[in-house]
Amino acid sequence: MAIVREDLDALNVRLTVQINKEDYEGELKNKLKEYRSKAQLKGFRKGKTPMSVIRKMFGRQILADVVNDKMQAEMGEFLFSEENKDKLKFLGQPIPSEEQDSFEYSVSNLEDYNFKFDLGLAPEFELKGVADKHAFTQYVVTPDKEQLAEELMNLRRKMGETSEEETVAKEDIITLKALELDNGAPKVGGLDKEFTLFIKNTTDETKAAFIGKNKGEQLELNVFELEKDTTEKHVRRYILGIEEGDDREVSPVFSLTIEKISRFTPAELDEDFFKKAFGEGDVHSEQEALAKIKDDYKQHFTKHTDNLLFRDFQEYLIENNPMDFPESFLKRWLVASNEKNTEASVERGYESFTKGLQWTMLREKLIKHFDLDVSKEEMREQFVIQVESYFGGGRPDWVEDSVIDNMVNRMMDDEKGVNEMYDTLIMEKIQDALKEGYTLKEKVVSIKEFEAVVEAAKAKIAAESNLIGEE
């Protein structure tokens, strides 16, 4: 067996796999004998079917399998040999050449076979646009005073207390016993329900009616006009508890008795609150609490701002490192490699596909340029952090170290998970390395402004991402 390489141009190669009769004849005889020993055909005992019958009925398929196995083994050895590892940097996989001759497999007339394959080569390029001090925008997200105050209030509410009161105030939650009326009297067979009402969600008229009233007092009100921005359907289903499909007529006026008044009081801004909300540290006042929340916001958005920055790095490097690809080969390969792909879908998404391919090649070049690697210890450390996050970000006393270690060991044995972790860590290292060679100009923006930037970036990605099948 042999493989002949023919360079059609700088990006396209034709490989001819030559398989002579002598290369497969012995294997064919062995396979025929093996098949005969297992065959149990009607009219013959197991293993006693005449070889002529086996050859006639199954020889063609067995021959095709033997020859194709030889061809694939030879091709794999050629493509991934040490000799060709650096000399044959290819894209995708070989696909049958359009100039491939057709032939019939016949066990009665063994012959030599030549399989022709087309292969696309990765373009050679010199890395440009690295460490040239190009200026990029580094967003710094800072919430405004109102957002900071609201976040502090949310923390106070989270740690606040609920009490029962005697008189309704504007922030209370009241429990009402509702009795359906008919001309001022309880309606025969009418609704008798209990529900809760958040005073802050009610209409101005409802607020005026309830605020200042005491527990046990009764009011007659239109139940469909208690809350703001509601609908009759919502009131029937979620206030009065009427099932869908029940189209009974309901009188609008109900007698509403105040059964319970609940009041939620936010936590006081004292040392106990600061300790519970922020832990042991330097927060001892409202101003320090607002400063800590502001810093937490910045940390929270760091990953998102870094993602935007890294996308800008990618766009810049792609622009500065144009590449030619074997277009005809890649389009044929995309159709051949995925049954969901069509010529039309490949044509539509080809530009997006090659842009992703360009970045893949740039990534590999950057790893070599910066001499980056991810060690087994770094991988394990990140898996430990991931496992500890399941327990709230630490190792509780009741969780033995052996439990953590066993979980991490299983993660380290999962090839897919390890590859994903490698990709995450190597991309972080690439980003850190690129930052050193560029000029980063901070731009302070509000959360709303940053969200607008993110949405614009998403829209651009969506416009570019006409994905081809599942490739």
Averaged pLDDT, groups of 10, the chain, 471 residues long? 92 96 95 91 87 92 95 93 84 92 89 95 95 95 90 92 94 96 94 95 96 97 94 94 92 96 93 89 91 89 93 96 96 94 93 94 96 96 91 79 92 95 96 96 92 90 62 38
User: Residues 102, 202: one domain?
Assistant: no
Does 186 fall in a domain? yes
Q: Which of 265, 298, 321 is the C-terminal boundary of a domain?
A: 265
Token pair for residue 375? 């060690």
Q: What is the DSSP letter of 131?
A: S
User: Residues 459, 344: one domain?
Assistant: yes
Q: What is the pLDDT of residue 466?
A: 53
User: Residues 310, 432: one domain?
Assistant: yes
Pairwise CA distance, residues 458 & 465, whole Å = 10
User: Residues 398, 321: one domain?
Assistant: yes
User: Residues 297, 379: one domain?
Assistant: yes
* pTM of the predicted model as reported, rounded to 2 decimal places: 0.70
User: Residues 172, 216: one domain?
Assistant: yes
Token pair for residue 92? 């995708």
Token pair for residue 256? 């509403």
**Helix, strand and coil percent figures for the chain, each rounded to 5:** 50, 20, 30
User: Residues 94, 171: one domain?
Assistant: no
CA within 13 Å, CB half, 143? 20
Q: What is the pLDDT of residue 40?
A: 83
CB 91 within 8 A of CB 122: yes
User: Residues 242, 302: one domain?
Assistant: no
Pair type for strands 253-265 and 135-141: unpaired
Q: Where residue 217 sits, what CATH number does that domain have?
A: 3.10.50.30
Q: What is the pLDDT of residue 234?
A: 94
Does 271 fall in a domain? no
Which domain, by its residues, includes 236?
161-265
CB 162 within 8 A of CB 466: no
CA within 13 Å, CB half, 258? 24
User: Residues 250, 297: one domain?
Assistant: no
CB 199 within 8 A of CB 170: yes
Q: What is the pLDDT of residue 469?
A: 45
Q: What is the pLDDT of residue 471?
A: 38
Q: What is the pLDDT of residue 242?
A: 93
Pairwise CA distance, residues 468 & 460, whole Å = 18
Number of domains in the chain: 3
Does 128 fall in a domain? no
CA within 13 Å, CB half, 285? 3
User: Residues 59, 108: one domain?
Assistant: yes
Q: What is the pLDDT of residue 304?
A: 92
Question: What DSSP assignment string belongs to 344-408?
Answer: HHHHHHHHHHHHHHHHHHHHHHHHHHTT----HHHHHHHHHHHHHHTTTSS--TTS-HHHHHHHH
Q: Where residue 19 sits, what CATH number does that domain have?
A: 3.30.70.1050
User: Residues 294, 433: one domain?
Assistant: yes
User: Residues 239, 292: one domain?
Assistant: no
> pLDDT tens for residues 303-331?
899 999 999 999 999 999 999 999 999 99
Q: 67: part of which helix (H) or strand (E)?
A: helix 51-79
Question: Among residues 179, 169, 199, 5, which one has the least CA distance to residue 87?
Answer: 5
Q: Which of 265, 295, 327 is the C-terminal boundary of a domain?
A: 265
Does 155 fall in a domain? no
